[in-house]
Amino acid sequence: MSPMPRFGIAAVCLIALAGGFSATTAARAATLVTGMNIVNPQRAKIDDQNALIAQLHAAGVQVVRCGITNDDKGIDLAQRLKAAGIAIELILSPKYPPDAPKRAYQPQKYPEMWGGPPLSYADPQLSHAYYASLFAKLEAAGIPIVGFELGNELNWTAFNPEFPLPGEGKSLGLDDLYHDPEGQQIAKGFVQYLKILRELKTVRDASQLYAHTPIITAGFVDAGPAGPRKSVLDNVALDATLAFLRANGLDDLVDAYAVHTYPSGKLSPAAAKQRLYNLTLAACRPPGVAGGKPCWITEWGFPNADKDCPIDDAGRAALVREYMGFYHTLADTGRLAGVMLFSWDSDPWSKTVDRDSVYRCGALTSAGQAALH
């Protein structure tokens, strides 16, 4: 995982693309959704949104992953995507009572550690009402939805204000969730998250249009094994997060798990072997672990700091091709269902080019093109 994710949950869009496949890849494409993050589309003006949609359509986009607002503006965006032949994997958030306590945002010290209520204060009834209202609007408009993803990176400090800031410099393990004071508080939030998932499932199951649309967990951070960290930003290890949630009923509530992982980018056979090993461990069904669900890797990628036009993206393209090969192999085993590169472009409010973006200088780079295959 890169040290800090870039954007909040409602701000992120992911896209799945089609086209340009070989015969072998085309056969696999039915079981592996491939795509990219698109950042904060509702921050852009309508003309810019339409230009973005036109770019996606021209690239052969079939699915976007978005958090949209539950209002006319959000539904309008969904309708324009639908008109372009683009379905949505929809990111949803838990809802909180207005008097819930909040961790303050500290932009000077921790600019990417977002403020807000602790996860343990998420309200099942408010969340149920919100999902029911949004589902009704989506159904009335006939918006095609391919998945409902609840939350974002809830197992670390940036997106779960249950974590103290600063933290104690540790990655919590499964035992910590039961016995460590900080871990016990994080665990309370995880239990509440399962209650919110149950409400989402209840609304989903009652829907005529979306009854069989999969529910996906938040994209959990893969930040390595439990133990001390050099950073003051704490997290819960990926395996511990999934083990705790599964022990408390997760598999009855979701159809897939989501993971975020940012591998190292050195080009060498040894580095490639290590990346494949790490990826295998992060793919939600590690060897020797029974049961579980398929995985979606909803954030991954490699940065390119080149801001010149035209951009030299050959090295990053080679890494993307390597990883797409890994992903298809894991998909063939049934362990991986979707992968989403971060990111298509930069935040509309950003004054600089995002190093992870693959739409540069008015065109898709070679790395972006590689992610289509």
Tens digits of residue pLDDT in 105-114: 999 999 999 9
- Say if 4 falls within a structural domain: no
Structural domain contains residue 3: no
Residue 158 in any domain: the answer is yes
pLDDT tops 90 at residue 121: yes
- Please report whether residue 321 resides in a domain: yes
Out of 84-88, 205-209, 290-294, give the one with best mean pLDDT: 205-209
Q: Which H, E and C letters describe the chain, residue by residue?
A: CCCCCCCCHHHEEEEEECCCCCHHHHHHHCCCEEEEEEECHHHCCHHHHHHHHHHHHHCCEEEEEECCCCCHHHHHHHHHHHHCCCEEEEEECCCCCCCCCCECCCCCCCCCCCCECCHHHCCHHHHHHHHHHHHHHHHHHCCCEEEEEECECCCECCCCCCCCCCCCCEEECHHHHHHCHHHHHHHHHHHHHHHHHHHHHHHHHHCCCCCCCCEEEEEEECCCCCEECCCCCCEECHHHHHHHHHHCCHHHCCCEEEEECCCCCCCCHHHHHHHHHHHHHHCCCCCCCCCCCCEEEEEECCCCCCCCCCCCCHHHHHHHHHHHHHHHHHHHCCCEEEEEECCCCCCCCCCCCCCCCCEECCEECHHHHHCCC
Structure tokens at 348: 């509309």
Average confidence (pLDDT) over 67-90: 94
CATH number at residue 38: 3.20.20.80
Q: Has residue 113 been placed in a domain?
A: yes
Q: What is the pLDDT of residue 202?
A: 98
Q: Which domain covers residue 285, as residue numbers?
A: 9-370
In a domain, residue 268? The reply is yes
Please check whether residue 1 lies inside any domain of the structure: no
Tell me the CA distances in angstroms from 37 to 95, 276, 337, 339, 356, one per residue in order.
Answer: 24, 22, 16, 10, 10
Q: How many domains does the chain have?
A: 1
Is residue 125 situated within a structural domain? yes
pLDDT above 90 (res 300): no
Q: 166-180, pLDDT tens digit by residue?
A: 999 999 999 999 999
